[in-house]
Amino acid sequence: MKLRPLHDNVLVKRDTAPDRTEGGILLPDAAKDKPRRGTVLAVGPGLPVDGTANAVRPMAVKKDDKILFAPFGGSEVEVGGEKLLILAEKEILAVIA
């Protein structure tokens, strides 16, 4: 199944959480924080511009960008057995260079 975001939404694959602390302590799943970083897999066309026919505001991110997003933003979806995140563009805090 393919998933194509609409309007100003972005499909993101969340980075994996580390299994150990910097000191080498093994973390159980319950103690891991969900990473706030990810990779953009797909981008919607953008929000329509008021008063114009078929014009949209371009998106600030593109496919394969590494991003930092709000901790509790977006909606989790499962596509082909893989957990992905759909975020609104305004929930993206930064593009990692």
3-state secondary structure of 77: strand
pLDDT tens digits along 3-42: 899 989 999 998 876 677 777 777 776 666 677 899 999 9
Tell me, yes or no, whether 41 lies in a domain. Answer: yes
**What's the total number of domains in the chain?**
1
Here the CATH number for the domain that contains residue 80 is 2.30.33.40
Tell me, yes or no, whether 54 lies in a domain. Answer: yes
Sign of CA dihedral 57, 58, 60, 61: positive
Q: Tell me the two tokens of residue 45.
A: 């066309």
By the 8 A CB rule, do 89 and 60 touch?
A: yes
Tell me, yes or no, whether 71 lies in a domain. Answer: yes
Tell me, yes or no, whether 23 lies in a domain. Answer: no
pTM as predicted? 0.80
What's the confidence (pLDDT) of residue 33? 66
> 55 CB contacts (<8 Å, ≥6 apart)?
48, 49
What's the confidence (pLDDT) of residue 39? 94
By the 8 A CB rule, do 81 and 69 touch?
A: no
Q: What is the chain's mean pLDDT, rounded?
A: 85
What one-character DSSP code corresponds to residue 93?
A: E
Find residue 37's DSSP bridge partners: 68
Q: With bands split at pLDDT 50, 70 and 90, how would you rate the model's confidence at 73?
A: confident
